[in-house]
Amino acid sequence: WDITNAVSRTLEDAQSGVEEMLFEPVIRLGVTGLSRAGKTVFITSLVANLLDRGRMPQLRAAAEGRILTAFLQPQPNDAVARFAFEDHLAALTGPEPYWPEGTRSISQLRLSLRVRPSGMLSGLRGPRTIHLDIVDYPGEWLLDLPLLEQSYGNWAAETIALARTDSRIEHARPWLDVLDTADGAAVLDEREAQRQAEAFRGYLRTAREAGLSAVAPGRFLMPGDLEGSPALTFAPLPEPVKSRGNSLHATFARRFDAYKRIVVKPFYRDHFAKIDRQIVLVDALGAINAGPQAVEDLRQAMAAILMSFRPGRNSWLSSVLGRRVEKILFAATKADHLHHSQHAALAAITEELLDDARRRADFRGAKTEAMSIAALRATIEETVRHDGAALDCVRGRLLDGGREVAMYAGDLPKDPGALLVPARQGAAKWLDAEYGIMKFAPPRVALAPDEGPPHIRLDRATEFLIGDRLA
Ligand code: GDP
């Protein structure tokens, strides 16, 4: 049965592949990043700016006037939620704009572009339709890849050990107290199972709220439609001396395997494996603002996330990856919190933050780049005098209360090591620098023409990601 299934699937894939190449090419763009990195705002702004052109000068096809029309279409995948573009756009552009609800699960949107070819072929070929399938999914889900190689026993031991480290113990204590009362050898009692799972999830949530990023299993914080299912009702337990088949420990071990089988693998096989281009959004500024431990934690989480893009040769993942991700863009988001004179420093920090993973990886030949962007500019730039010196600030409307203020987030070092080295060494605070970020509301009116485009480098990001396919 399996083989027939596999063969018919391969045939189907091949067929749709040929159709795509001949007639209407499809670009599958994955958008990911940890919660609150800016995925929802990014996709909404990208689609709005492609639908309503003229504000993307760095996207060549747009600047050359070759995108004739852009329109939304029903996506081809009936089994995935549609990205709620209209709702999100209404939130951001209404008379009292507000930030939309962020990504909680996977969703998809198809934007189709009628594009006139460039260069020599333009006279020979008429315009053609190119479909951009945007796939939005939580970066937390990519933290699950290492679980595939782990047994329940290994995972539990590692997770408990990590919770006892300095940066985590404070958040983990309530869960560890509940864990201390667990009896893994006892016969399963579903209420006790829920109590353990809930306490464990509470720890992950508090750690996340404190700015820590490495919080697997990914679905515990981003459950999608699996909330409350047995596959999400387990937690780490130490190995009991003796364990029977119906014990709490044995049940959790089975559920851990079920989680891998029905949650992790289908996501990779059905969605991740089909992506051609990927943007990974990183709220580096948010982590810098939260302090060195958050930066170090973000670095580790990003290293874990990036493993999915360079799986080991003989791993399960490489066996299901059909097509290759051709380009990966790492984008530090919310750059509108900084004056442009600091944007290069933010991009450099982001690049260095990912460097460990990048250095070791060839990403299976994918082209990579790092930049700092703002999908939606909530500020304008302003230089104010402070203690006799000129200070390059940004001005925006505060999310809390709506007052207009000028903000100076702090001076990011030109050398990223000045932040990343103390973070690695476990510093509790930044030594001689202070960073503070205020939360701005989305802009109330479209920016005036002389105030620049309503985004920062969204067009350059788009050019890197899909520009070659629009040529
Ligand atoms: P998601 O969880 O990755 O989908 O993140 P969202 O797109 O919901 O963004 C999380 C929050 O970050 C938003 O509610 C905004 O407060 C902020 N944010 C996202 N993008 C921008 C941006 O371009 N500029 C500013 N100033 N804030 C942003």
Task: Pinpoint the residues of the chain covered by CATH 3.40.50.300.
Answer: 2-137+271-375+454-470
Tell the residue nearest (CA) to atom 22 of ligand 1: 334
Between 208 and 280, residue with greater pLDDT: 280
CA 374 to ligand 1: nearest atom: 23
Query: Tell me: the pLDDT tens digits for 174-218?
Result: 999 999 999 999 999 999 999 999 999 999 999 888 877 777 898
Assess contact for 372 and 347: CB atoms under 8 A.
yes
Rounded Cα distance between 135 and 106, Å, is: 7
Residue 177 alpha carbon to ligand 1 centre in Å: 35
Q: Which residue puts its alpha carbon closest to atom 18 of ligand 1? A: 38
Protein residue with least CA distance to atom 14, ligand 1: 99
Q: Is the pLDDT of residue 1 over 50?
A: no
Best mutation site among 32, 83, 99 for ligand 1 pocket (most ligand atoms within 8 Å of CB): 99
CB 417 within 8 A of CB 351: no
Q: What pLDDT sits at residue 118?
A: 86
Q: Which pLDDT tens digit goes with each residue over 37-89?
A: 999 999 999 999 999 877 899 999 999 999 999 999 998 888 899 999 999 99
Pick 244 or 373 by higher pLDDT.
373
pLDDT, position 198? 96
Half-sphere exposure of 454 (CA within 13 A, CB side): 22
| ipTM value for the complex | 0.99
- Say which residue, 77 or 119, is predicted with more confidence: 77
* CA–CA distances in Å: residue 250 to residues 294, 399, 410: 34, 48, 51
Kind of pairing, strands 107-115 and 128-136? antiparallel
Distance 62 CA to ligand 1 centre (A): 25
Compute the distance from residue 393 Cα to the ligand 1 centre, in Å: 20
- Fold assignment, 2-137+271-375+454-470: Rossmann fold (3.40.50)
Which of 34, 36, 98 to probe ligand 1 with, by most ligand atoms within 8 A of CB? 36
Block residue for tokens 């409350």:
228
pLDDT at 449 over 90: no
Distance CA 51, CA 49 (A): 5
- Secondary structure class of 71 (helix, strand, coil): strand
Instruction: Say if residues 285 and 340 touch (Cβ distance below 8 Å).
Output: no
Identify the residues whose C-beta falls under 6 Å from ligand 1: 33, 35-41, 99, 102-103, 333-334, 336, 374-376, 378, 439-440
- CA dist 66 and 127 (Å) reads 9
Mean pLDDT of the chain: 89
Distances 259 to 105, 141, 231, 233, 447 between C-alpha atoms, Å: 16, 12, 5, 9, 47
Ligand 1 pocket: which of 45, 334, 379 to mutate (most atoms <8 Å of CB)?
Answer: 334
Mean of the pLDDT values across residues 321-334?
89
Instruction: Report how far apart, in Å, the C-alpha atoms of 458 and of each of 1, 285, 326 are.
Output: 47, 17, 19
Question: Chain centroid to CA 227: how far?
Answer: 21
Output the pLDDT for position 4.
Answer: 55
Q: Residue with the nearest Cα to atom 11 of ligand 1?
A: 36
